[in-house]
A and B are shown apart, each in its own frame.
Chain A
Amino acid sequence: MPINKISDSFADAVADIPSGASIMIGGFGGAGGQPTRLMMALRDLGVGDLTIIGNVAGISKTTGYGWPDHLDPIDQGMFFESGQATKITCSFPVPGTTNPLSEIERAWREGRAEVDIVPQGTLIERIRSAGAGVPAFYTPTGVGTPVAEGKEHRDFDGRTYLLETALSADYALIRAQKADTRGNLQYTGTSRAFNPAMATAAKVTIVEVDEIVEVGGIDPERVETLSTYVNRIVQREAGDPLP
């Protein structure tokens, strides 16, 4: 029987996500590469006590970061505004300004959310490691800073490194440009960012795409994420006004 991972709607694709789940949200921060329709479906689902894993998170709404001027930005702050998320692990949770206050900083100040701030290169390598079956790795980044507290230090060739552990999740919501019905993916431009690594690091990976093609519609020389990592695919409506 041909493999077909297509979900009929964004709501269907996220319907089994339970309260208490950990959710990776792909992209970099900004509109490109963000699974915006899947995020809106998760918000509408209303489940709570979520742990979000992102990168640049929740700063677009108040600063316009990575969004075209004529659109109202949508970002991961939505899960803190709705009270669904109680924790975020990310590298960039707040902008330089506090006026107006971002939803993540507001939730943190009010004691509604824990914010775990990780250097970006460490964050992506922790996610990559989880997908690659590597439980931990040494990195020079963060030595001598607050992120090193409580972590094993080890010297190699005269330089000191930190032991950092792999980071996985229950679900990954990611964004790609094109999928075949089997789940092979291609991306466009700078929309890759955290998407390919997150696809490998979650128990269930759900992909929002602009276009679904039949098997054979993606050149096997140019598959960027392998179908094995992908569980569900949802296609956006043609002419969706959101980037």
Chain B
Amino acid sequence: MSISGSTSGTNSGNPAGNDPAPRLDRAAVAKRAARDLVDGSTVNLGIGIPALCADFLPDGVELLYHAENGILGFKELSAPGEGDPNLMDAGGKFPKLVPGMAFFDSVESFNLIRGGHIDVTVLGALQVSRTGDLANWIIPKRGIGSIGGAMDLAANAKRVVIAMEHTARGDMPKIVEECTFPLTAPGCVDEIITDIAVIKIDRASGRMILRETAPGWSFDDVQALTEATLVVDGEIVVMS
């Protein structure tokens, strides 16, 4: 199913708290992001919505999950209370031991990342700019934040996908013309999947292309909650 969209970035005016239709829940955002993960890829999932992607892989897709703390090839988590602290993922959870898994130290783990061997990383974000700059490690008001592996992943993974809620509290846009928060990496984001839209970033031309909208949301509805100017290039599909 497709809907038509205007090609301009003009806002039709959807005041905060006046959504035209429900936004997708976190699981639905993860499910949509999971659909783009290519069978056989080496993947690093960030915490939050990105980590949920693992629960929604399409049938027949097998991924090799990497976590910064030195594990490749993990699958489901141990039952609550049954984990082994020496078998952890980067979110501090305890996966089960499964055949084919590999353990390694942090030098090797970041050789994989910095060396460009991670096919795709799915991360959360505080802000993403029209040209694909990512800010996801520090809120200036707090004055202190955590980088962890985010800068290495954002700068060096072959493909960077952001899975997040479209806006911050009070419908503050997170998709902006220019990031006002300190950057994690400039010009790194390829695609944004949110609770109301799927947006592709064409970094070469500096365009943010709206590809999909949540059911009941129009181009103008999404643009109203997006500071960066969106464009249409091809048809806009309803997210599913």
Contact = CB atoms under 8 A, between A and B. Distances in A.
B182 A146 contact: yes
A70 to B, nearest CB: 7
Interface string A103-147: 001001000000101111110110010000000000111111111
B86 A194 contact: no
B215 interface: no
Interface string A38-57: 00000000000000000110
A121 B87 CA distance: 21
Interface string B150-181: 11100110000000000000000000000000
Contact of B105 (A60, A64, A105, A197): A197
A80 interface: no
23 contacts: A33-B86, A64-B92, A67-B85, A68-B81, A68-B83, A105-B144, A117-B144, A120-B106, A121-B110, A121-B113, A125-B114, A141-B156, A141-B185, A144-B186, A145-B182, A145-B184, A190-B69, A192-B105, A193-B69, A193-B106, A194-B105, A195-B105, A196-B105
Chain B at the A interface: SS class: loop
A62 interface: no
A242 to B, nearest CB: 10
A56 B147 CA distance: 10
Contact of B110 (A60, A64, A124, A146): A124
B149 interface: yes
Interface string B114-130: 10000000000000000
A174 B85 CA distance: 16
A172 B106 CA distance: 16
Contacts of B184: 145
A3 B138 CA distance: 49
Interface of A: 28-33, 55-56, 60, 63-70, 91-95, 98, 105, 108, 115, 117-122, 124-125, 128, 139-147, 177, 187-197, 243
A53 to B, nearest CB: 13
Given A28-B70, A128-B107, A140 B88 contact: no
Given A120-B148, A147-B151, 4 more contacts: A29-B92, A121-B152, A124-B106, A192-B105
A67 B93 CA distance: 8
Chain A at the B interface: SS class: loop
A148 B133 CA distance: 15
A144 B148 CA distance: 17
A192 B90 CA distance: 13
Interface in B96-114: 103-107, 109-110, 113-114
Contacts of A29: 69, 92
A140 B187 CA distance: 13
A119 B152 contact: yes
Contacts of A118: 147
B88 A194 contact: no
**10 nearest A-B pairs in the assembled complex, by CB-CB distance:** A121-B110, A189-B86, A121-B152, A144-B186, A65-B92, A32-B85, A119-B151, A192-B105, A31-B85, A66-B92
B183 A144 contact: yes
Most B CB within 10 A of own CB, among A70, A119, A192, A243: A119
A190 B185 contact: no
A197 B147 contact: no
B68 interface: yes
Contacts of A192: 70, 103-106
Contact of B142 (A32, A98, A122): A98
Contact of B69 (A28, A125, A197, A243): A28
